[in-house]
Amino acid sequence: MSSIAVNPIARPTQLPRLRVVRDHERGVPAPWVSAGTTGGRAVAARPAATRAAAVSARPATTRLTRRGRLVVTLVFLGAVLLAAVAFGARSAATGDAGSPVPTRMVQVGPGDTLWDIATQVAGPGQVREKVLQIEELNALPGPALRVGQRLAVPVR
């Protein structure tokens, strides 16, 4: 339950300053309590000595603003990204050369497709794998070919 506090040391030209005082902050009931309209009680503000004692009795809490929460979130995400880069991505490449694939050179003629060329060198049921192997050997971005283009094709 909360109460409203009125500053008893208000200057004559000022309106009284109101603040919400929770029951656990007040400690002992004040003798100057008057009825409130919302079920709470209007309480005059405490003298400075009593207020300091009440403030020191409250548990310390950390409150962040929207900007503070954003900064904490960005720092956390940066730390996660740094950890992922540092520990996650490892290269599988080695300094050793791979085993060479025996190849022969084929010149692309009019109407030739990569599938036709792969069919000439592939065994039954392995045409798709040969197409991918020819693309990889020649660093082709896809199956498109130009007439007169020279391709390295693996030997059976």
Instruction: Assess if residue 21 is contained within a domain.
Output: yes
Q: How do strand 41-44 and strand 2-6 relate by DSSP bridges?
A: parallel
Domain that holds residue 48: 2-57
Tell me the average confidence (pLDDT) per consecutive run of 10 residues in the chain, 156 residues long: 58 66 61 49 54 61 89 96 84 76 90 90 89 90 89 87
Instruction: Assess if residue 64 is contained within a domain.
Output: no
Q: How far is CA 130 from CA 32, 40, 123, 135, 137, in A?
A: 94, 83, 9, 8, 10
How many domains does the chain divide into? 2
Instruction: Assess if residue 95 is contained within a domain.
Output: no
Instruction: Assess if residue 149 is contained within a domain.
Output: yes
| Cα(100)–Cα(15) distance, integer angstroms | 92
- Alpha-carbon 68 to chain mean position: 16
Instruction: Assess if residue 87 is contained within a domain.
Output: no
DSSP state, residue 142: S
Instruction: Assess if residue 116 is contained within a domain.
Output: yes
Question: Structure pTM?
Answer: 0.40
Residues whose CB is less than 8 angstroms from the CB of residue 96 and which lie 6 or more positions away in sequence, other chains included: none
Instruction: Assess if residue 136 is contained within a domain.
Output: yes
Residues 111-149: tens digit of each pLDDT: 999 999 999 888 888 999 999 999 988 988 888 899 999
CATH of the domain at 130: 3.10.350.10
Instruction: Assess if residue 130 is contained within a domain.
Output: yes
- H helix runs in 15-126, sequence order: 23-26, 48-57, 66-87, 114-121
Angle at 91 between CA 90 and CA 92, to 5 degrees: 120
